[in-house]
Chains A and B, each alone.
Chain A
Amino acid sequence: MNITYSLIGVIGTLVVAFIVSLLLPGIERKFIHARIQQRVGPPITSPGIMAPIKFFFKQTISPNSPMPGLYNSLPLISLIVIMVLLVILIPEMYFLGAFASVIAIVGLLKVEEIMYMFMGSLSKSILSVRMPFPDMAKGAKHPETPRTFLEELSTLRAFRLIAFGSFPVYIALFVSVAVTGSIYLADIVAYQQQNGPILFTVAGALGAVVFFIGYMILLNEYPFAILKTKADVIEGPYLEYAAKYRSYVYLTRGFLMFVLATLFATLFLGIAPNILNPSFIITLVVALLFPMIMGVMSAFSPIFTYKQFYPTVAAVSILGVLAIVAAFL
């Protein structure tokens, strides 16, 4: 009986998470961006639900890539990685021990980031080097220079993202560890159920801000969209995905939005995602609130180059360190 109950909890949570995550891009687009830009905007179902279904029914073509199979499987892998991330957040899975800990979450998020690098280096899109254009004309500058695809530029940036760009989100994860004194999710949730959410302490409030910036960086939303700016790399790592693989890309993004918000609810509010628990509604509210705030911020900001990106990340990281220090005081 107990096992059936847990199973329903895990599967139900996954299903609800999936459905809500499909709506998030539409909500961001219709209610935030379109409202700010004073236009009607698309129907709420279009960007998140209908677009992936449409791509699912398109002709599957082989992407232009040295390893088409691997390239096409990458979005599916990252979708699974995020799903695992959600599963270990569910209280029924806390028996996994070290797997249900902050360290495992850091590892899974790193895998997600590394995917961008693989995608970028495997994609060879038409839009730059392969464009049939007589570049090597008489009098062309530097004809011997090696030529790079736009996606390789994106790979370079993905590497920077891994190296330090995603620093804020990891520091924010350890704020709750510092407050509760344990890396296990079970202990973190239990501590907050006893002592109240750590969001309402000084360390927690600082940590939440840091987490939010990290959330935007990890989701590559403007102004932190260095991986896929329209100004140079267009869509970066995703350029060659077509048909159903592109729909996985769409689904992954919506799901990542939801899961990161759930992570926040677990670590800072002490509410683990479980559909059988009435406080799941708070998780849903957080999941809706995060993309909305993100939408407002991205609608009012230009894209950052390194000149703005580095100081922002550094400042936010320092804030995160302060939050950890505040946790020990």
Chain B
Amino acid sequence: MDDNKPNQTVIEAEVPMGTVHPAALEPYRVRLFVEDEIVRDAEITVGVNHRGVERIMEGLPVEKANSLTEKICGICSNSHIWNSCLVGEKALDIEVPERAQYIRIIMEELERLHSHCLYLAHGNEVLGHGTFSMRLFYIRETVMDLLGMIGGNRVQYGASILGGVRPRCELDDNRIQQLKDGMDLMEERLTAFADRFVSDPMIMSRITNVGVISQEDAIRLACTGPTLRATGVKKDLRTEMKEYEPFDFEVITQDGGDVKSQLLVRVFEIPESIKIIRQAIRDLPEGPITNRSWEMKDTPLTKSYIEVPRGTLYHSYALEDGRVRHCVIRTPSMANIGAMQHACIGHHITDAQLSIVQCDPCFTCTDRAIQIIKI
């Protein structure tokens, strides 16, 4: 044994946290292995929330299965139902009207706005900054009202259906005006917040060089989404999706890979989303919003990847007699768990939860693994 190994760590104790913990919000268990108060190893237990959505989807009619995917996650519900519809549309060769595409994009970007606001609010709560957290919840209400206005429900709005969007989500002039006003309000409030946030010396000293994920590690651990972009990799699936082709936006990257970069990537992605929504409202084509002329048939396994607020979302299923078979869903947080565990290591235990939260975990999305218990 070489005693002078640089990476040698001594684990003195284990601090388990969860499944009920204020910094976590969601039920998950994290075991932190500490030396003094420095985290030397971490283990996040996935599976606490396992409800077996894929199993329930198995054998359901495809329309029902689509709306069930929305119940996987209450934050990015639109992403799930959109991607699930995309799988069905790809398999059944359904052409989606252009206006429906635009409305879907508007919903998706509104969702990204509220998801990022929630992420920043949660991040600030874990930082201990209650004022900013409340401010962000306040800003987020604007988007929630818009989503409630369009979809009829504040959380699960079920905009997409096979072949278009639900008639409820049609955008008339009144709604478009409200959207425009809402976006102006959001931009004004968020710009003021972002200026204040970036120039706060105490917050910046607290989050700089904490929870660092290097670019090599991020690629090795297969991170996706903003977590990957915060390490300097310019990869956003939106640039490759044909739905996003008409829109002009920038892919935001930061170089640090620490909590600061992670937070700033989200802060700067919010204006891009507002930009996309504005373009979509401006260029909103006329026409129908649903295509009902399609026929059910048996299809082989079809898959679809889209970029959602947290990263790359994968849905796939085959169709038999109009029913869903072999359904597999892979959510972005699943890919980021490795990074969360990695980011905790070497930092103070107060920063450990922050290092987990920085990757924007959504364990209700993630939990489809089953833990094997030693008997």
Q: Do A and B come from one complex?
A: yes
Chain A contacts for B13, CB-based, 8 A:
145-148
The answer, yes or no, to whether A300 is at the interface (CB within 8 Å) is yes
Within 8 A of B (CB), among A215-230: 222-223, 225-226, 229-230
Whether A302 contacts B203 by the Cβ 8 Å rule is yes
Set of chain A residues within 8 Å of B71, measured between Cβ atoms: none
Asked if A232 meets B374 with Cβ closer than 8 Å, knowing A141-B43, A302-B206, A303-B127, the reply is no
B293 contacts the other chain (Cβ, under 8 Å)?
no
Chain A 155-195 residues near chain B, CB threshold 8 A: 156-157
In the complex, whether B373 has a CB less than 8 A from a CB of chain A is yes
B4 in the interface (beta carbon within 8 A): no
Q: Which residue of chain B lies nearest to A146 when distances are taken between CB atoms in the complex?
A: B13
Contact A37 B372 (CB under 8 A): no
A33 interface residue per 8 A CB criterion? yes
Which residues on A sit within 8 Å (CB–CB) of B281? none
Most B Cβ at <10 Å: residue of A133, A136, A226, A308: A133
Mask, A17-44, CB within 8 Å of B = 1, is: 0000000000000000100111100000
A69 interface residue per 8 A CB criterion: no
When the two chains form their complex, are residues B22 and A308 in contact, meaning their CB atoms are under 8 A apart? no
Q: Which of A121-164 contact B (CB under 8 A)?
A: 127-129, 131, 133-142, 145-148, 150, 153, 156-157
A302 engages B14 (CB within 8 Å): no
- Closest residue on chain B to residue A147 by CB atoms: B14
B128 x A225 contact (CB < 8 A): yes
Determine whether B297 belongs to the interface, using a CB cutoff of 8 Å to chain A: no
Query: Does A305 reach chain B (CB closer than 8 Å)?
Result: yes
Interchain CA distance A214-B274 in the complex, whole Å: 45
| Contact, CB under 8 Å: B374 / A138 | yes
A127 touches B20 (CB 8 A): yes
B41: contacting residue among A141, A147, A156, CB under 8 A: A141
Q: Are A229 and B130 in contact (CB under 8 A)?
A: no
Cβ contact within 8 Å between A231 and B126: yes
Near B by CB (< 8 A), chain A positions 285-321 give 299-308
Do B349 and A33 have beta carbons less than 8 Å apart?
A: no
User: Apart from A37-B135, A142-B41, A145-B12, what are 8 other A-B pairs with CB-CB below 8 Å?
Assistant: A145-B11, A145-B14, A156-B36, A222-B130, A229-B350, A232-B23, A300-B202, A303-B350
A-B contact pairs, 27 of them (CB 8 A): A37-B130, A38-B134, A127-B20, A128-B15, A128-B16, A128-B17, A133-B16, A134-B371, A139-B372, A145-B13, A150-B17, A153-B37, A153-B349, A156-B36, A222-B128, A229-B128, A230-B22, A230-B126, A231-B127, A232-B352, A232-B353, A299-B131, A301-B128, A301-B202, A302-B203, A305-B351, A308-B202
